[in-house]
């Protein structure tokens, strides 16, 4: 039986254009492009994957049921012009009226919502560089979910273009850009994650 061999991709040593980075980066390579430099991203932990998969399942069914737009998961590049950068949010949502920004292998502009599930390796990047970039790019909601600290922060873009922490009431956050969608933050910390069907019943999808 043949053994599958995984080849470690070596990032370019010099600055490259987005087009050159896009050609170099394949679907199995987790990397981002910032100011012309390629930044390798560490593989996700099992807990990170559990939380991301739970959110993806629930959000995807909700968004598709109501024909609200497209939910995409990393590694799918989001190209931002402000810095410039090519980021890979764990999840990104683009509403239907902006669907023309979705190219075959990347999003050519800011998402309406970006979700980053924080890991020890990414915490500085998610709370620092990405926070600033997403705010400047006009991403309307930025969710920061930290499984290790059992902390969820839901930032909403205010009229002055700055992120403000969205309110949670009794542990429930209600999205401003996904009509009728809400989350119990306790769902994010349950091990194993709640059954999607149970959550979808609460959301009145089924």
How long a stretch of residues is the chain? 206
Q: What is the pLDDT of residue 7?
A: 47
19 pLDDT more than 90:
no
pLDDT digits (tens, 9 = 90+) for 32-53: 888 888 887 766 678 889 999 9
- pLDDT band for position 4 (cuts 50, 70, 90): very low
Q: Which whole number is the average pLDDT over 183-187?
A: 96
The pLDDT score that the predictor gives to residue 3 is 39
Q: Which residue has the higher pLDDT, 119 or 73?
A: 73
Note the pLDDT of residue 6.
39
Please give the C-alpha separations between residue 191 and each of 51, 80, 150, 195, in angstroms, as whole numbers.
10, 35, 12, 11
Q: What is the pLDDT of residues 66-108, one digit of tens each?
A: 999 999 999 899 999 988 999 999 999 999 999 999 999 999 9
User: What are the angstrom distances between the C-alpha of 103 and each of 76, 80, 199, 204?
Assistant: 10, 14, 31, 32
pLDDT score of 123 more than 90? no
The pLDDT value given to residue 43: 61
For the chain, which domains are there?
45-202 (3.90.1570.10)
Q: At which residue do the structure tokens 């909601």 appear?
A: 141
Pure H helices in the chain: 18-24, 46-65, 123-127, 129-137, 196-202
Write down the mean pLDDT value for the chain: 90
Q: Which of 20-24, 135-139, 141-145, 202-206 has the lowest mean pLDDT?
A: 20-24
Question: Is residue 16's pLDDT more than 60?
Answer: yes
With a pLDDT cut of 70, the percent of the chain lying above it is 94
Q: How far apart are CA 13 and CA 151, in angstroms?
A: 37
pTM assigned to the model: 0.85
Residue 197 per-residue DSSP state: H
Residues 6 or more apart whose Cβ sits within 8 Å of residue 203? 58, 62, 180, 181, 182
């Amino acid at each position: 039986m043949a053994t599958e061999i995984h080849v470690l991709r070596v990032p370019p040593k010099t600055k490259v254009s987005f087009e050159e980075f896009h050609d170099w980066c394949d679907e199995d390579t987790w990397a981002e492009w910032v100011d012309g430099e390629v930044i390798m991203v560490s593989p996700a932990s099992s807990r990170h994957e559990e939380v991301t998969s739970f959110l993806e399942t629930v959000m995807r069914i909700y968004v598709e049921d109501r024909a609200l737009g497209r939910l995409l998961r990393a590694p799918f590049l989001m190209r931002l012009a402000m810095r410039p950068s090519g980021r890979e949010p764990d999840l990104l949502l683009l509403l239907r009226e902006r669907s023309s920004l979705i190219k075959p292998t990347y999003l050519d502009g800011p998402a309406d919502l970006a979700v980053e599930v924080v890991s020890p390796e990414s915490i500085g990047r998610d709370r620092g560089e990405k926070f600033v970039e997403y705010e400047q790019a006009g991403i309307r909601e930025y969710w920061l979910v930290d499984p290790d600290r059992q902390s969820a922060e839901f930032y909403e873009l205010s009229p002055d273009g700055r992120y403000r922490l969205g309110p949670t009431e009794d542990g429930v956050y209600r999205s401003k850009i996904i009509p009728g969608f809400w989350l119990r933050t306790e769902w994010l910390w349950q091990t194993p994650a709640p059954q999607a069907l149970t959550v979808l019943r609460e959301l009145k999808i089924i």
